[in-house]
Structure 1
Amino acid sequence: MSQLRIALLGTGPWAERTHAPAIAAHPDVVFSGVWGRRPEAAAALAAAHGTTAYAGGGEGDGDGGSGGAGGAGGLEGLDALLAVSDAVAFALPPDVQAPLAARAAAAGCHLLMDKPVATTVPGARAVADAAERAGVASLVFCTLRFAPGTAEWVEEQAAVGGWFTARAHWLGALYGSGDRSPYADSPWRREKGGLWDVGPHALSALLPILGDVTGVTAVRSEPDLTHLVLTHTSGVTSSAVLSLSAPEKGAGAGLELRGEHGTAVLPEGWGDPADIFGTAIDALLTAARTGRPHACDVRFGLRLTEILAEAEGLIARGATG
């Protein structure tokens, strides 16, 4: 496998700004094509990066889109792209992503998925099972696990051990500042809020350092502020505060650990998302070539969905533990 042929599914701002530039620039990758549910958007993105567009048949597209995966004609276009691809990168809403990822796995394509894998446990499990049946490599793009500074920091803190507690905050101002970010037009983000959009970032760092989650407490207040308290297999408890509606001057992300060796703080300034996505492509290439699963594979993505779904269920029932 001298070069991996990677297809891109999705044509929204995340695909345009991060996925497509990273795929096109990667020296060990052939950009095999773009599939989108809006033919004109797929054509424009493909033309910008010298590849081929494969049109879908549904309304809406991209990581901010809504609706289904498209009609029969759209899936014919998708299947044609899968036939000339070794791997697929996804920039779609999670519950559109999940069934298409299972379809791609069944076609023998490796998976480079966005977080969360899905917002339902059955949806995420179906992808994980499809990838396992097909024997394809998979990876979920949890950004800080691939940014050089933060990825190394997570590994270092996991090796140190002896932690007493941790607290994380991921506070976005997507809906709290009046800023007309293109990501604010995302129906699934507006519906699911910070728990599902930025919650995976916090969990992707907490779990490898403190261990899997064995207990969840969740409280939510309006407009969109979720507090999680997590118990880990190490016996440590951690907390996470999540939102997409913070005031602009109060927004920010961070993680602090305290333990017998002192305090450790997650580095700031993760870097250019397109460069970080290029590192994720490297990781997928390694997993595909060696057959060794990456720590952030689709099974890990399934576990994140299970934890977030449990928290969502507690909030819906008005429970606290």
Structure 2
Amino acid sequence: MTTTLRIGLLGTGPWARRVHAPALAAHPGVTLTGVWGRRPDAAAALAQAHDTRSYATPDELFAATDAVAVALPPSVQAALAVRAAAAGRHLLLDKPVATSTTEARAVADAVQRAGVASVVFFTARFGVAEGAWIAEQAAAGGWFTAHADWLGSVFAAGSDSPYAASPWRREKGALWDVGPHALSVLLPVLGDVETASVTAARGPADTVLLALRHAGGAASSATLSLTAPGPAAGVQVTLRGTAGTTTLPRRTDGPGPAYERAIDALLTSVRTGEPHPCDARFGLRVTEILAAAESALG
């Protein structure tokens, strides 16, 4: 590894422009070495905005980097992540790692074979206040039940969200877009989920209701949606147990600071060789649980 980690960015969409590229370009431990995208003109524009260069192919970008950050649809991300790991590149992935267990397992296995570091970015898990709360509740233990509401209005009537044009979100819906966020909070606090016990039911539009039993005996539920009316949208996670009731703190800033912490986590994992709790193997577990829920929906 060089003095700073050379990271290339795969992707040029709204999330890459809003979060990934600015954070990578500004981070003191990172050099943003370039951008590749499926639209060369968009890659060139994003690279120019951050004083770097665009690459014609992912493999050319891999050759110029120590690591890659990915801001692409999950089905595209998975295949490129396998190629990048095989090339010896560390991975800063987005959630979900993939929307099939086969693809997610291929990523996790590629990371293990290559011995590279991996971190999957979950905004709540890496948020300053949220991350501290998750760690505190996991240490406290004694939780009996939990409920998560993760309600977005991306596809609600009158929405002007830049993510409303995302084909994969429209196809896969809230289960796969915001479901990973809910699991990233519930799993570290309540423990792993018994996959065979996962149940799910459909609500309005893309809304999904999940019921989960955790390995330690706790039960949790989640309501997930990208079609909630604007006034009803929001995030809330409530835990109930021997210590009483506690609620996930509200985010006070945008996703940028959380992504900076994810970059920090990758740098630490590269330096120490220790896997991060939110690595590709955790990303696989999230995919397995969501795939079980999708199967339960029929």
The TM-score normalised by the length of structure 2 is 0.98
CA distance in 2, matches of 1:282, 1:256: 28
* Counterpart residue number, 2:250: 268
1:125 aligns with 2:105: yes
Structure 1 stretches of at least 4 aligned residues deviating more than 3 Å after TM superposition:
none
* Counterpart residue number, 1:27: 28
| Aligned-partner residue type, residue 190 of structure 1 | R
Of 135, 140, 153, 2:120 maps to 140
Contact 1:147 1:270 in 2 (8 A): no
* Counterpart residue number, 1:179: 159
Pair 287,164 (structure 1): closer, same or farther in 2 beyond 3 Å: same
* Counterpart residue number, 2:129: 149
* Counterpart residue number, 1:58: none
Contact 1:177 1:246 in 2 (8 A): no
1:106 aligns with 2:74: no
1:287 aligns with 2:243: no
CA distance in 1, matches of 2:234, 2:204: 19
Most deviating of 40-49 and 175-184: 175-184
Specify every segment of 5 or more residues in structure 1 that has no aligned partner in the other structure, as ranges: 56-76, 317-321
Of 226, 249, 257, 2:208 maps to 226
Contact 1:150 1:270 in 2 (8 A): no
| Aligned-partner residue type, residue 34 of structure 2 | G
* Cα drift, residue 145 of structure 1: 1.0
Of 148, 171, 190, 1:210 maps to 190
The TM-score normalised by the length of structure 1 is 0.91
Of 278, 284, 287, 1:296 maps to 278
* Counterpart residue number, 1:85: 65
CA distance in 1, matches of 2:215, 2:91: 29
Of 182, 188, 191, 2:168 maps to 188
CA distance in 1, matches of 2:157, 2:281: 35
Contact 1:217 1:229 in 2 (8 A): yes
Taking every aligned residue pair, what percent have the same amino acid on both sides? 63
Specify every segment of 5 or more residues in structure 2 that has no aligned partner in the other structure, as ranges: none
* Cα drift, residue 176 of structure 1: 1.1
Q: Which has the higher contact order (CA 8 A, sep 6+)?
A: 2
CA distance in 1, matches of 2:103, 2:32: 28
* Cα drift, residue 54 of structure 1: 1.0
Contact 1:5 1:85 in 2 (8 A): yes
* Cα drift, residue 270 of structure 1: 4.7
* Counterpart residue number, 2:19: 18
CA distance in 1, matches of 2:147, 2:32: 40
Q: CA RMSD in A?
A: 0.8
